[in-house]
Copies of this chain bind each other. A is one copy, B any other.
Amino acid sequence: MEFDEYLRTRREIVEEELNNYFPETLFPETLVKSIRYSLLNSGKRIRPILMLAVADMFGTPYQTILPFACAVEMIHTYTLIHDDLPAMDNDDYRRGKLTNHKVFGDAIAILAGDALLTEAFRIMSEAALKNKFSSKKTLEVIYEISSGCGINGVVGGQVMDILSENKTIDLPTLQYIHTHKTGALIVAVVRAGAILSFATKRDLQRLTEYGKCLGLAFQIQDDILDVEGSFEKLGKKPGVDSAKKKNTYPSLVGMKESKEMLAQLMDKAYKVLLPYDEKAKYLRNFIFYLQNRQS
């Protein structure tokens, strides 16, 4: 299967399952509408598909991984809803549509985020109990994902990001923000896919390295797109970061150096996959996909 086809089919599987988790008939109606608005909003589904691709490499059936992949997309969506709030980044648009709080108000947006984060853990635990999948592996994945999203992960990164606005920070601080705000969840996603596939310690180490490179590269590319991208492709205004005096790689080390760092990370990610040869083809495709994306 070509990578485009792989992305498309996997996205469909993920979106169908997400839709099943939050049917319109669920109560309370307003909350469910708000959740569906942001969750079923044509995202790229990079994180769940990445988890599926890792598991594919080990030959794990996607049905085993799907609830965990969906849980991660739910968590990712909660971070977007909360980040967009007026109290945080105060963004009006996301993926070309009004942000959640612009449509449902701040209170419901906060609660929709809270619900998505909470339900992610319900869905993971429920799936394992129902399908009699290894409780131990499931707990390990819950540990990975919660670690990647908490104080020492996404939330820690977002806090430092907010505290750094309108300040000039040094490169280590920017690196902290990026590795935590974006990188930690991507690393957790890759590790989760491996853990659920009963990967060896050695495999887990390699894939962790792959995830780290990919996660940081992803964010550097985001920073670059904020300078060079267009509204049509991004679905939001470019130049937002610099207008808010947010620290980015281009603003801190320059555009040329940023692109070089990006290339280096991509190269490192590529090399760490060499032992897996043809089996890692989709993971290898992910590297080029992220490097060439326009949104």
Interface residues of A (CB under 8 A from B): 26-28, 30-32, 35, 78, 82, 85, 87-88, 105-108, 110-111, 113-115, 117-119, 121-122, 125-126, 128-129, 134-136, 138-140, 142-143, 146-147, 149-153, 155-156, 158-160, 162-163
* Contacts beyond the supplied A108-B162, A115-B150: 15 A-B pairs with Cβ under 8 Å: A28-B156, A31-B151, A31-B156, A82-B110, A82-B111, A87-B110, A111-B158, A115-B155, A118-B151, A121-B121, A122-B143, A125-B143, A126-B143, A129-B140, A134-B135
Given A82-B114, A138-B139, A140-B129 in contact, is the A150-B163 Cβ separation under 8 Å?
A: no
* Interface-central residue, A111, A119, A134, A135, by most chain B CB under 10 Å: A111
Query: In the complex, A63→B87 CA distance in Å?
Result: 39
Query: In the complex, A150→B113 CA distance in Å?
Result: 10
Nearest Cβ in chain B — how far from A284, in angstroms? 31
Nearest Cβ in chain B — how far from A119, in angstroms? 5
Which residues of the partner chain B approach A152 to less than 8 Å between Cβ atoms? Answer: 27
* Interface-central residue, A87, A126, A138, A151, by most chain B CB under 10 Å: A151
Q: Are B140 and A138 in contact (CB under 8 A)?
A: no
Query: In the complex, A153→B114 CA distance in Å?
Result: 12
Q: Are B129 and A146 in contact (CB under 8 A)?
A: no
A118 in complex: contacting residue of B32, B119, B126, B149, CB < 8 Å: B149
A151 in complex: contacting residue of B113, B115, B162, CB < 8 Å: B115
Nearest Cβ in chain B — how far from A181, in angstroms? 11
Nearest Cβ in chain B — how far from A56, in angstroms? 25
Given A110-B82, A135-B135, A139-B138 in contact, is the A118-B160 Cβ separation under 8 Å?
A: no
Which residues of the partner chain B approach A134 to less than 8 Å between Cβ atoms? Answer: 135
Nearest Cβ in chain B — how far from A107, in angstroms? 5
The closest CB in chain B to the CB of A113 belongs to B114
Given A135-B138, A151-B31, A151-B32 in contact, is the A111-B159 Cβ separation under 8 Å?
A: yes
Which residues of the partner chain B approach A119 to less than 8 Å between Cβ atoms? Answer: 146, 150-151
Which residues of the partner chain B approach A128 to less than 8 Å between Cβ atoms? Answer: 139
Query: In the complex, A107→B164 CA distance in Å?
Result: 13
Q: Are B118 and A150 in contact (CB under 8 A)?
A: yes
- 6 A-B contacts (beta carbon < 8 Å): A88-B110, A113-B114, A118-B146, A118-B155, A125-B139, A129-B143
Query: In the complex, A78→B82 CA distance in Å?
Result: 14
Q: Are B85 and A110 in contact (CB under 8 A)?
A: yes
Q: Are B111 and A125 in contact (CB under 8 A)?
A: no
Q: Are A28 and B135 in contact (CB under 8 A)?
A: no
Q: Are A155 and B122 in contact (CB under 8 A)?
A: no
Q: Are B140 and A108 in contact (CB under 8 A)?
A: no
Query: In the complex, A139→B162 CA distance in Å?
Result: 34
